[in-house]
Structure 1
Amino acid sequence: MRTGARLPVALRGYDRKQVDTLLQRISQALNGGPPMSADEVRETRFDVVLRGYDPRAVDELVRECIRELQAAAPIGERPGRSRAQPGWLINWIQNARFPGAGLRSGYDVRDVDAFLDRVVAGLRGIAPPVTARDVRESSFRIVRLGPGYDEQEVDRFLLQLAGALERR
């Protein structure tokens, strides 16, 4: 995101302090700070003042920020997916592919696959449902030599899965 970009100043434009504050909050949200939704950004209004930032340049930058926030949002919060349907979730889980850990340690493939099978069974109604909390609290054995999944990729997927289960 170009939040560090210099915005042009206009005779009448958006209040610079308000714009800078919003851009700083967006930057923090995209870098692991307090979350901020694309809707929050859309709802923001700036005062028009003398010698403020050029409104067209700010509006263009804000649209770019909204796209980045949407792309970074958990899958259940992205546009067009306000509610995760069980059939869609099952398909998404079954098609998930995780890279191998290579020479690093990783999560035991059997543990991760068995856990995801439990989630799918719960979504199908043939086993007790797995909650978002269960997903967040899941843990797997670490393998050093042998088939293991990349831990960061699995953790990222599970975070999105927990978010999707909360919005069911």
Structure 2
Amino acid sequence: MSTPIIGTTVPDVDLLSTGDKTVKLSDYRGNYLVLYFYPKDNTPGCILEGQSFRDNIDKFSGFNAVIVGVSRDSVRVHEGFKCKQEFPFDLLADTDEALCQWFDVIKMKNMYGKQVQGIERSTFLIDPAGVVVHEWRKVKVKAHVDEVLQVLSSLPG
């Protein structure tokens, strides 16, 4: 797998999803896809990020955009997180890190003074043809959803 760049078509790997589904990224063709990678279910920053996407779902729908979250957590853990937070979008379980590796979001991070590998909070905007058109890396949760909506508003519907 290689690092994605703007203009690259995303890979079509099978991933387990909430809702007892197996999905491919091509399943979202015809819509803009907001694919956001986050470190871990049920942690403060990931809760806030997911809630922000949830609270703006109507705005995203108005731009023909589907939101999908991705982490290395299992589908079982995702189901609980999605239910508890009332997320109206699917969460994908990338337990083998295939998608994380392709998008190059696995990074060395400091956690409590130790170096660990984890997901660097990142979001990718994929157009209706399956091509990456924008990326955000090292995402700061607070204003992130507004930034994504701003870019979406500048693209053809």
Q: TM-score range by the shorter chain?
A: under 0.3
TM value normalised by structure 2 = 0.25
| Greater fraction of residues in helix | 1
TM superposition score normalised by structure 1: 0.24
Higher relative contact order (CA 8 A, sep 6+): 2
Quick check: which one's strand share is greater?
A: 2
Q: Which has the larger radius of gyration?
A: 1
